[in-house]
Structure 1
Amino acid sequence: MSAIPSTACVVIIGGGAVGASCLFHLGKAGWRDCLLLERNELTAGSTWHAAGNVPTFSASWSIMNMQRYSTELYRGLAAAVDYPMNYHVTGSVRLAHTRERMQEFERARGMGLAQGMDLEILAPGDLPERYPFVETHDLKGALYDPNDGDIDPAQLTQALAKGARDLGQRIERFCPVTGIRREGGEWVVETPKGEVRAEYVVNAAGYYARRVSEMFLPFGGRLIPMNVMSHQYLLFEEVPEVKAWSEEVGHKLPLLRDVDSSYYLRQEKFGFNLGPYERNCRAHWTGSSDPMPEDFSFQLYPDDLERLEWHIEDAMARVPLLAEAGLSKVINGPIPYMPDGNPLIGPMPGVPNAFEACVFTFGIAQGGGAGKVLAEWVTEGQTEWDMWSCDPRRFTGFADEAYAMEKGMEIYGHEYAIHFPHHIWPAGRDRKLSTLHSRLKDAGAVFAPYNGWERAAWFARPGDDTSEEASLTWDRAGPWEGAVRAECEAVRDGCGLIAISGFTRLKVSGAGARAHVDRLTASRLPRPGRVGLAYFPDARGRILTEMSVFPHSDEELTLITAAVAQWHDRDVLLKDLPEDITVTDHSDEWECVLVTGPRARDVLASLVAGHDLSTPWLTFSTEGTVAGRDCTLARVSFAGELGWEIHCRPEDAPAIWDAVTAAGAKPFGMFALDALRIEKGYRAWKGDLSTDYSLVEAGLERFIDFDKSAGFPGREALAKEASAGPAKRAVGLVIDAGSADAPYMALIWKDGDLVGETTSGAWGYRVGASLAIGMIRADLAAPGTEVEVDIFGEMRAARVAEMPFWDADNERLRA
């Protein structure tokens, strides 16, 4: 047994397509001293039995970027590394049975156009020209993607591996990792062939990623919340008509996806490959009765075709030629799933200098882009595209093994489902219930999860349809619309009350705590007793996050941020942390209730003791009570009205809720809050605020203190951009929107030119209009500029408007 190198800059654990791509892209970034360890042969995991489809389509902007990059890389890879590959760019046709599916296709077509791809909407009558064997009688239309296709997964992996070796990288096969430890600020990776000391380690172990994550538990890690699904696809024998057609036209049929029936159908040589995603799906290796084997390399599960009967029959009805083909082979192999179906790419939560590039459900399609993203994380500490959709820190401590199983089964069974903006998925619920949960439920709350916490999305009235099916729409006028309107009007005209459970609360303590935070943010920190928004940029000046800062002294600050940002923003504050300063998480120790509206002071007046309700906007007090319960009272309101956040202990929240509602406050939910915050031009994290945009582009210059003596990340880049002027500017838009408001990444047009995109949108019930926040070409950012917004394929007239749309001078906030 030959020895392996004793040192490496980066060790990658796992030799599938993703691991090989990571190694290759680290080499392309100029890092040569990297080592990949594979327990068996390259491709021995999910890669070897993968179907090899390579779509660009995604409902996620970032994942579409990643998949688009893969197709671009693969087209030139064989020549670039001098390794032959079978890569067939056939195009694809996605079928739509419903108006809602066509709306999804229109949105994807727009995103693709913004990324330089020419996706095309087809009418049913256009289909026979693209796919002559398909039945079209019950279809609404289709989406054609010219860049879709299929590739040989093993050849792809070997080509990436050769390219990596040519760049000086090292691959060691038949070398399992048996342990990991940390010594002197370095990783020591243990194998039967010896130990390797490395600065960085990457978990790219595919469906074994959870087992590898166990090795990092002693160093602050967590078990990856994933499960492994059985996925089957069927290979059919040659069909003479397919052969004759292919030989006549000189290419294969496009890949056909009947997404509403949940399967793909691909030409395989002159036969077919049928891959369903069935609702009655099956997970493997689920516990002590079904343990994960030590090595499942190049193995498959037994056939289980009964589950697929409906899909097979439906496919044969859609493409009758399929019924004439004989079944030649069934592939039934393990596919890893995260609870949302997206992979893990980025920093390993809680562990220094460790990264993840694993749990890829579509590793072949995403592998090229994943390698690029992972290499950027390692070598630069930041990525070209905002990749929160794949960030390992998006699932926090609530995501245990049971949750991963429930959600993985749900995602697999709905692999091609439309993700509607107000649809609330039912699996994996009730992970975290606040002490107010029963009261919200009694008031008619329809709940939605936020980082595991159940919050009220809206409050149903008698007769409102709360069924899941009723929420499957892109339109504004869902069953919630009347309730949300009434909730917004209650906040506008009287007093509203919302429970915002699960806010992330991070305390920075120790001598120099304020100075440490000051070095990380571009903003001027408020003095003790005041509340301020602080923006944290990366080295390019792009927006990492936004936090509300509550300074108690120079030695202690509390920072409050989005629930889902819990682990992400912890890492922001831990960056370059001095030894005598601590960052502690107190998120579970507090509850937050927002009381807001023009009557908020009247409602609270008889309930407050010790707190002064006449203090100015953006102040807070820690000494006093509401309804006899100790609490912190902060004069802020994300709804944009006179209001106070009440921060209290969870056990005190029910008494406060009861007293405030008895005094006349009306409950409202997160759907209403979203509409209210857009009217005020307040931004949402990882929509309006992301690393896709800089602080200057986002119009947040008033929060940048360029004169700070401490400096901050990205200052030079932001100063240069502010001086020269940004290419894009954040603007408000008032849209003649029809039945649906602008979704994230709806395209903005001017005289036939693509000039920007929306980042969020909603109906503004206080101003009576459809509103959006968008990023537009800077020369068009002046209020009054007339543009068009593509909303699900309809070009809707819009005009640029000043933000905020409501209470522009903040008179109501300051009342």
Structure 2
Amino acid sequence: MADFPTSARVVIIGGGAVGASALYHLAKAGWTDCVLLEKNELTAGSTWHAAGNVPTFSSSWSIMNMQRYSAQLYRGLGAEVDYPMNYHVTGSVRLGHSRERLQEFKRVVGMGRYQGMDLDILTPDEIKTRYPFVETHDLTGALYDPNDGDIDPAQLTQALAKGARQMGARIERFCPATGVRRDGDDWVVQTPKGDIRCEIVVNAAGYYAREVGKWFGRDLPMMVMSHQYMLFDTIPEIESWSREVGHKLPLLRDVDSSYYLRQEKYGFNLGPYEGNCRAHWVTPDDPFPEDFSFQLFPDDLERLEWHIADAMARVPLLEKAALTKVINGPIPYTPDGNPLIGPMPGVPNAFEACVFTFGICQAGGAGKVLAEWVTEGATEWDMWSCDPRRFTGFEDADYCVKKGMEVYGHEYAIHFPHHVWPEGRMKKLSAVHDRTAALGAQFGPYNGWERALWYARPGDDTSGDAQRTWDRQGPWFNAVKAECEAVRDAAGILDLPGFSRFRLTGDGAADWLARQITGKLPSVGRLGLAYFADAKGRIVTEMSVARLAEEEFTLITAATAQSHDREWLQKHLAPGLTLTDHSDEWSTQILTGPKAREILAQVATADLARGWLTHQTGTIAGAEVWLCRVSFAGELGWEIHSRRADTPQVWDAVMAAGTPMGLKPFGMFALNSLRVEKGYRAWKGDLSTDYTVLQGGLDRFVDWAKPEFRGKAALEAERQAGVAKRFCTLVIDAGDCDPPYMSTIWHKGQVVGELTSGYFGHRVGACIGLGMLRADLNQPGTSVEVEIFGQLYPATVQADAPLWDPANARLRA
């Protein structure tokens, strides 16, 4: 094996479409000293049996970016690397049966237009002009995507592999990785042909990714489903039509019936996503196989009978076709259906690009994203939707199986803003869960923690069906209004289990932390918001920083940011400093409203005259508590932090004192309403690496006098050149629906920005949008329009001050 590489800069484990794309994009970035290891032939896993559809459609902005990039790459890849590829850009027709489905389509059309794609909505009559063989009598319309189509997965993989080789990268087939070990700052990847020493390892092992992850001490949140699709023989009418017009039929998706139907040569390929689906390799009598290369599961068509009959009623020509072949192969799923692309949590110089449910349409973009993570340490688009750190370790095997089956069975489901999926629930409960549930709390999970979303009153419809609407005035609306009014007029209490909480100590902690954030550190006894930027000045995360002593800090951040923020801090941590994660030891209540001090005075031993942005230790009902004088609701208030074991007695004492004064529990929906009225940003919505600190309107959190902080040079250059777009607050005459994430802002026929949050503010009685607007238009009083489900609604730019209590008098009371 004299020619076998003994060292490389990067080793990729797995030779499917994603692994090959990662190698291709690393080489394209100039990192040609990279090796891909494949245990069998390239494509031996899920790539081999994939249907090869290449949609750009997604309700996720980042995944749409990734899939759009893939489609663009594939159109020119064959010519670029001189490899023949069967890539049919046929377009697609995505059928809608309801008003709500058409609203989803119109939202995606707006997003796609902003990304430069020419998506369109078809009326039922227009559908026939694109697809003459379909029955349309019960449809409300369709989405047409001219860029959709299908590709040969094996040819795609080989083309990417050829391109990577041409640039100098290496591929070792029939060479399984058998383990890894850490040797100093290097990884050593073990194979039957010898060891390879490298700087960086990438797990691109598809449905074997969990087994590979174990070598790194990691239990990947994933499971494996079987997906079947059926191939049908030639249909004379299809052949005649195709020869006459010179192209294939568009790919048809009946998403409300949950299947795709694609022309395959002159026959059909039918692929359902059935509700009565099947997981594999999850029980002792169905163990994970050592090798499943180029293998399939036995046919299991009984589960698909309804979908087959429905497809035949939708396209009657299908009834004439003879079934020639059934493909039933494994597809990996994460608990939310999105892949894992990015840093391997807790493991240095290791990355993941695996667990792709739609690996063919995402492979091109995934390779780009992975290469950016490896070579630059950051990605062009904010890719939190696929970041492995969005999972934090509570996702056990049972959870992964239940959520994976739920996602598969609802693959085409609409993700309504107030709907909560039922599987995998009650993983982490607040210490007062029983108390909030008894008060009518309707829960939703945040990093596995069940939090009250809203409190139902007698007669409120709490069924899942009631949540399936885009309309603002669902059953929660009046309940949330009452919760917000209680916070405004008396006081509200919000149970917030799961805050991420880190303690930073050690000589030099203050100097180190000052270099990590853009702004100033608080003095001892005070706290403040801090923003962490990357080298390009983009917003990485937001934390509350409380200074306990000169060299001791508590950092508090979002529940969902636990793994992300801990990793960020540890990655940059200076020698001699200690960072400890205390997230699971504490719980929090927000007590807020004009009567908050009066209520707290009855139960707390503390100095309640201390001002805004201070913190102190006190007692409530004999329990030690940490009181922080802040409120995300924008009213007089405190965060009451207590150890989990003490939280029930603290809650009971506050409720007993406050109820006679009008204290009411409130939930996350009300908090969302309250915070948009104050212009407070939410992480991974308003605050993301899609925007710089200056674009985010966070100038007051930048200390330009500091000699050094990450991103300073980039932000100084941006400030000098002029910020192209800036954070804005809009009041929108929005009709019946609040604008979804990434609704576009229009001015005189041009798209000039986008919304990052939209919700109804009950204290000000208006729909509010937070977002990014072209800088020259970001002036109070400017009239713009916001596109909501395909319709433009008038909106007005507000002053750079909160809509509610602009002088912060109530907050500082």
TM-score under structure 2 length normalisation: 0.99
Residues 561-597 of structure 1 show CA distances to partners (whole Å, capped at 9, x for unaligned) of: 0000001001221133222112111000001011000
Amino acid of the structure 1 residue aligned with 2:649 = A
Map 1:755-774 → 2, pairs under 5 A: 755-774=752-771
Partners of 2:700 and 2:742 in 1: how far apart? 25
Amino acid of the structure 1 residue aligned with 2:373 = W
> Which residue number corresponds to residue 351 of structure 1?
347
SS at match of 2:306: helix
Amino acid of the structure 2 residue aligned with 1:646 = I
Partners of 2:767 and 2:792 in 1: how far apart? 14
Aligned residues of 1:66 and 1:366 also touching (Cα < 8 A): yes
Query: Which of 728, 741, 764 does residue 731 from structure 1 map onto?
Result: 728
Query: Which of 478, 489, 499 does residue 485 from structure 2 map onto?
Result: 489
> Which residue number corresponds to residue 581 of structure 1?
577
Q: CA deviation at 1:714?
A: 1.0
1:654 equivalenced with 2:651 (yes/no): no
SS at match of 2:23: helix
Map 1:797-808 → 2, pairs under 5 A: 797-802=794-799, 803-808=801-806
Residues 209-243 of structure 1 show CA distances to partners (whole Å, capped at 9, x for unaligned) of: 000000001xxxx2001000000000000001101
Residues 766-791 of structure 1 show CA distances to partners (whole Å, capped at 9, x for unaligned) of: 00000010101111000100000001
Map 1:476-515 → 2, pairs under 5 A: 476-515=472-511
Partners of 1:706 and 1:27 in 2: how far apart? 38
Partners of 1:687 and 1:576 in 2: how far apart? 24
Aligned residues of 1:78 and 1:85 also touching (Cα < 8 A): yes
Aligned residues of 1:607 and 1:628 also touching (Cα < 8 A): no
Q: Which runs of no fewer than 5 residues in structure 1 stay unpaired?
A: none
Q: CA deviation at 1:613?
A: 0.8
1:141 equivalenced with 2:141 (yes/no): yes
Partners of 1:272 and 1:525 in 2: how far apart? 64
Residues 140-170 of structure 1 show CA distances to partners (whole Å, capped at 9, x for unaligned) of: 0000000000000000000000000000000
SS at match of 1:68: helix
Partners of 1:101 and 1:582 in 2: how far apart? 51
Partners of 2:641 and 2:397 in 1: how far apart? 32
1:785 equivalenced with 2:779 (yes/no): no
Partners of 1:554 and 1:371 in 2: how far apart? 45
Amino acid of the structure 2 residue aligned with 1:677 = R
Aligned residues of 1:513 and 1:555 also touching (Cα < 8 A): yes
Residues 336-395 of structure 1 show CA distances to partners (whole Å, capped at 9, x for unaligned) of: 000000000000000000000000000000000000000000000000000000000001
Q: CA deviation at 1:2?
A: 6.3
Partners of 2:596 and 2:168 in 1: how far apart? 66
Partners of 2:514 and 2:194 in 1: how far apart? 45
Residues 667-696 of structure 1 show CA distances to partners (whole Å, capped at 9, x for unaligned) of: 000000011000000000000000000010
Aligned residues of 1:407 and 1:427 also touching (Cα < 8 A): yes
SS at match of 2:810: helix
1:304 equivalenced with 2:300 (yes/no): yes
Residues 25-49 of structure 1 show CA distances to partners (whole Å, capped at 9, x for unaligned) of: 0000000100000010000000010
> Which residue number corresponds to residue 561 of structure 1?
557
Partners of 1:525 and 1:80 in 2: how far apart? 52
1:96 equivalenced with 2:96 (yes/no): yes
Q: CA deviation at 1:509?
A: 1.5
Q: CA deviation at 1:507?
A: 1.1
Query: Which of 438, 446, 449 does residue 450 from structure 1 map onto?
Result: 446
SS at match of 1:194: coil
Partners of 2:745 and 2:363 in 1: how far apart? 31
> Which residue number corresponds to residue 794 of structure 1?
791
Residues 153-192 of structure 1 show CA distances to partners (whole Å, capped at 9, x for unaligned) of: 0000000000000000000011111110001110000010
SS at match of 2:230: strand
SS at match of 1:683: coil
Aligned residues of 1:3 and 1:194 also touching (Cα < 8 A): no
Partners of 1:28 and 1:642 in 2: how far apart? 54
Partners of 2:99 and 2:41 in 1: how far apart? 47
Map 1:376-455 → 2, pairs under 5 A: 376-455=372-451
Give structure 1 regions of 4+ aligned residues with deviation exceeding 4 angstroms.
Answer: none
Map 1:74-113 → 2, pairs under 5 A: 74-113=74-113
> Which residue number corresponds to residue 471 of structure 1?
467
Q: CA deviation at 1:540?
A: 0.4
Partners of 1:11 and 1:414 in 2: how far apart? 36
SS at match of 2:540: strand
Q: CA deviation at 1:274?
A: 0.3
> Which residue number corresponds to residue 317 of structure 1?
313
Partners of 1:454 and 1:512 in 2: how far apart? 38
Map 1:40-55 → 2, pairs under 5 A: 40-55=40-55
Partners of 1:64 and 1:512 in 2: how far apart? 43
Amino acid of the structure 2 residue aligned with 1:402 = D
SS at match of 1:266: strand
Partners of 2:467 and 2:684 in 1: how far apart? 23
> Which residue number corresponds to residue 639 of structure 1?
633
Amino acid of the structure 2 residue aligned with 1:201 = V
Query: Which of 572, 586, 593 does residue 590 from structure 1 map onto?
Result: 586
Q: CA deviation at 1:288?
A: 2.1
SS at match of 2:31: coil
Q: CA deviation at 1:555?
A: 2.4
> Which residue number corresponds to residue 19 of structure 1?
19
Amino acid of the structure 2 residue aligned with 1:672 = A
> Which residue number corresponds to residue 64 of structure 2?
64
Partners of 1:431 and 1:514 in 2: how far apart? 36
Amino acid of the structure 1 residue aligned with 2:667 = G
Query: Which of 736, 745, 748 does residue 745 from structure 2 map onto?
Result: 748
Q: CA deviation at 1:510?
A: 1.2
Total equivalences in the alignment: 808
Amino acid of the structure 1 residue aligned with 2:763 = R
Aligned sequence identity (%): 69
Partners of 1:662 and 1:39 in 2: how far apart? 65
SS at match of 1:689: coil
Aligned residues of 1:488 and 1:676 also touching (Cα < 8 A): yes
Aligned residues of 1:69 and 1:368 also touching (Cα < 8 A): yes
SS at match of 1:544: strand
> Which residue number corresponds to residue 614 of structure 1?
609
Q: CA deviation at 1:655?
A: 1.1
Partners of 1:139 and 1:793 in 2: how far apart? 18
> Which residue number corresponds to residue 33 of structure 1?
33
- RMSD after superposition: 0.8
Aligned residues of 1:512 and 1:554 also touching (Cα < 8 A): no
Q: CA deviation at 1:628?
A: 2.3
Query: Which of 232, 238, 243 does residue 234 from structure 2 map onto?
Result: 238
Q: Which runs of no fewer than 5 residues in structure 2 stay unpaired?
A: none
Aligned residues of 1:8 and 1:34 also touching (Cα < 8 A): yes
1:250 equivalenced with 2:246 (yes/no): yes
SS at match of 1:109: helix
Residues 432-471 of structure 1 show CA distances to partners (whole Å, capped at 9, x for unaligned) of: 0111100011000000000000000000000111111110
Range that drifts further, 749-758 or 718-727: 718-727
> Which residue number corresponds to residue 288 of structure 1?
284
Aligned residues of 1:3 and 1:193 also touching (Cα < 8 A): no
SS at match of 1:8: strand
Partners of 1:316 and 1:621 in 2: how far apart? 68
Query: Which of 692, 716, 719 does residue 719 from structure 1 map onto?
Result: 716
